[in-house]
Structure 1
Amino acid sequence: MKARIAAAALTLLCFIPQARTQDSNLYWMKIRANDKFQRSVVADTGVSIEAVREDFVTATGTLEEKEALEKLGWVEVSFTIGAEMMAFPGQDAAYHDYPELTQKVQDLQKTYPQILKVTSIGKTNENRDIWALRISGNLAQADNLPAVIYMGGHHAREHLSVELPLFYAEYFLSEYTKGNPRIVNLLNGRDVHIIPAVNPDGLEYDISGGRYKLWRKNRARNSDGTFGVDLNRNYGYQWGTGGSSSNPGSDTFKGPKPFSEPETQAIKAYVEAHQNISTLLSFHTFSELVLYPWGHKYNGIDNNRDFQVHKVMAEKMSEWNGYQPMQSSALYQASGDTTDWSYGEHGIVSFTFELDPTNSGWGGSDGFYPGAGVIPAVQQKNLEPVLYLLQYADNPYRVLEFNINPIP
């Protein structure tokens, strides 16, 4: 092994230019490095290693340094660092930043092309793609199958909400391929849509400079020079009727008009292009709640059958994840949110999960940033609710006839 590493180091030295090119950009890189020997080879190129993990490091370096490592085939992800570095603080490196998320969905597409289609459903203000993953055991006929949409990352500081839909995408794909009978049975008769990060610009800005900012909104430049619209106040149904702000500097700024933002426009167009969607789940943090419409008013859904299907499903899902089920406005009133729009405008049975933890200390920082250690447990405790929604996507109202456990 040491001999191979030494040979790699010698080869690498041949690739390092003696003079710098005109490219003065700095690059962020995720570099495969399995042990201290490979890490030393990486360090010898002149890059600055920022974080060390079991089988990779993250580093910053010049174009020449990046190209030298690319000659060895060790660079897994790289991108130019602008005025601000986009990276999670080292202790939270298990979370996916946007380049890592992009690489992940592209890798999944390459691995599972028969049952996965990845598309960009739109561009953000800063020209990032909003990725959607469509999964089915019968992609050719997916438009004719019952569909569920799962999404996360509306709010920038809610990074845990991105990790769950991304995890479930990989879970569906891998378990189907392994022949898990429950997943095979579900996916052969379902059309699954997953949008892990609705707000990529905000998610990246919140971690820029290697520190958290408690940022919530997107990165639109407002007319008064401030930045950001609260995307979960920008949907059109009952927009601006309470629980949102007309002040551009506010965290809950609703935007200048409904669907003013490219991100909400993309979600609107995508949902409306897939008329088979019967059920929607939007992941947020934090408080450990299962929420359902309405958010814009305190009165419940007038149609009793619709009210009951939301209530029964929310209560059933809470048995698995331990969250408290309630109408959204019982938490606080908010208009222009995703689920009021998806149910109110399109009749889609819709839920919001406010993920762990239950509460937080001063300022909410440990609630929005609970650490990387919580990710696996939160993913597992919400798996059954996710599968439950998928099971009943053919007709959610079946839960009113009998309340059975998911298919074994």
Structure 2
Amino acid sequence: MKTTILAIAGILLASVSYAEDSVQYWMKIKATDKYERSLVAATGVTIETVREDFVVALGNESEKKALDELGILEVSFPMTAEMDFPARDSAYHNYDEMTKKLQDLMAIHSNIASMQSIGKTYEGRDIWAVRISGQLAQADQLPAVVFMGGHHAREHLSIELPIFYVEYLLTEYAKGNPRIQSLVNSRDIHIIPMVNPDGAEYDIASGSYRSWRKNRARNSGNSFGVDLNRNYGFGWGGQGASSNPNSDTFRGPMAFSEPETKAIKKYVEDHQNITILLSFHTFSQLILYPFGHVYDDIPVVRDRQVHEVMAKKMATWNGYTPEKSSDLYLAAGDTTDWSYGEHKIISFTFELDPGDSGWGSGGFYPGAEIIPSVQQKNLEPVLYLIDYADNPYRALDAERGPIFKP
């Protein structure tokens, strides 16, 4: 069955029109297992909700036509501002607001925190990274963890969590919270709240949400944007990432073609002490771990086990479902496949709340009222990852104590 689906997917991709597709469609599509979901993903749509016998996806006209020709499209209709684009929520941080907040926090807590631009986007915006440690001058000698958000423009909630955790760590340290002081004094914590500033700003620039996903690179054929979470190098170009520049999952002309993913690559590789990585996304309430580009498990048994055990432990706090990424569907070129596959960093993706799509009360735009509860339910997982950065394998019963060596 797997071979058949991959063959169909190849034919399907070859048949997708490269014409400009400006209208986005909401689609309910028949799919009963990871192989059928991978077939759906191979068209270039973005799967947003997974259920036992169907998925909900967003896609353009040519992708909708391809699914209809396969006979698996059950319901579809064009999306409009009245349906899924609520008015801007002022509690969310736009780029300038985020930048100022981080700068203000750095000024107050300069003894344990610094902020730097790790690169510039296509439109010239800085990609900001915050570094927190009680031993900033010697931080490279400490075990490190990196958190990031905002790979996808419309996933604004994924930006709010990293901003909150910067503020929480700094203010709780200043208050004398013994747990936070112990963690900060013994760790090197990196937080990159908004990987895709251009896309995030474009999504809100009109005063109504645009449901934009990609960055703002100018492609051939007068189309825009690369899916940054399909542009990483490990497994790049495989199934679940589109070669169509009009697709929401367009992988780019080559791995690491984009300034944003180049910046993340260089930053991670410049900090060899990083042992754990977490990338925040929305939505679906999932804890995902490698691999996403193949159905195979991580071949190193202990590495597979530590991902599974840590994911299950974090799920006890946030209530999310832990699973291997490709158990949903294949998606090639994502962040965590690269960070683990290339650098053996223990890596997770959190698909945050809500658990489902919905007009005005779910999906990518659930409203500002959801922010505090999602920040709080994921606080313990974040602190857990910071704690275990000295030796993630402590999560396994067979390992005790730190093993980090700078």
Question: Shorter-chain TM-score: what band?
Answer: 0.7 to 0.9
1:293 aligns with 2:283: no
Which residue among 174, 178, 181 is the counterpart of 2:178? 181
The residue correspondences of 1:4-403 to structure 2 (distance < 5 A) are: 92-361=89-358, 366-401=362-397
Offset of residue 99 of structure 1: 0.6
Offset of residue 266 of structure 1: 0.1
Amino acid paired to 1:341:
W
Separation of aligned partners in 2, 1:110 and 1:90: 33
On the 8 A contact 1:238/1:335 being kept in 2, the answer is yes
Amino acid paired to 1:171:
Y
Cα shift readout 1:186-209 (whole Å, capped 9, x = no counterpart): 111000000000000000000011
Separation of aligned partners in 1, 2:328 and 2:115: 35
Separation of aligned partners in 2, 1:332 and 1:145: 36
Separation of aligned partners in 1, 2:86 and 2:355: 23
On the 8 A contact 1:89/1:207 being kept in 2, the answer is no
On the 8 A contact 1:320/1:385 being kept in 2, the answer is yes
Separation of aligned partners in 2, 1:180 and 1:109: 19
- Secondary structure of the residue aligned to 1:342 is helix
State the match for 2:43 in structure 1.
Answer: none
Cα shift readout 1:199-220 (whole Å, capped 9, x = no counterpart): 0000000001100000000000
Amino acid paired to 1:209:
S
On the 8 A contact 1:157/1:216 being kept in 2, the answer is yes
On the 8 A contact 2:393/2:399 being kept in 1, the answer is no
- Secondary structure of the residue aligned to 1:366 is coil
Separation of aligned partners in 2, 1:163 and 1:169: 10
Percentage identity across paired residues of the two chains: 70
Change (3 A) 1:340 1:361: same
Separation of aligned partners in 1, 2:331 and 2:165: 28
- Secondary structure of the residue aligned to 1:224 is helix
Unaligned 5+ segments in structure 1 are 1-87
- The two structures have a TM-score, normalised by structure 1, of 0.76
The count of aligned residue pairs is 316
Separation of aligned partners in 2, 1:361 and 1:394: 40
Change (3 A) 1:272 1:403: closer
Amino acid paired to 1:335:
A
- Secondary structure of the residue aligned to 1:192 is strand
On the 8 A contact 1:279/1:348 being kept in 2, the answer is yes
State the match for 2:41 in structure 1.
Answer: none
On the 8 A contact 1:136/1:191 being kept in 2, the answer is yes
Separation of aligned partners in 1, 2:275 and 2:88: 39
Separation of aligned partners in 2, 1:259 and 1:146: 26
Offset of residue 330 of structure 1: 1.1
Amino acid paired to 1:96:
H
Separation of aligned partners in 1, 2:298 and 2:361: 34
Higher relative contact order (CA 8 A, sep 6+): 2
Separation of aligned partners in 2, 1:214 and 1:107: 30
- Secondary structure of the residue aligned to 2:129 is strand
Cα shift readout 1:160-191 (whole Å, capped 9, x = no counterpart): 00000110011000011111000000111000
- The two structures have a TM-score, normalised by structure 2, of 0.76
Amino acid paired to 2:390:
D
State the match for 1:8 in structure 2.
Answer: none
Cα shift readout 1:269-323 (whole Å, capped 9, x = no counterpart): 0000000000000000000000000000111111110000000000000000000
Cα shift readout 1:74-131 (whole Å, capped 9, x = no counterpart): xxxxxxxxxxxxxx97651000000101111111111111101100000000000000
Separation of aligned partners in 1, 2:172 and 2:185: 13
Change (3 A) 1:327 1:173: same
Offset of residue 366 of structure 1: 3.1
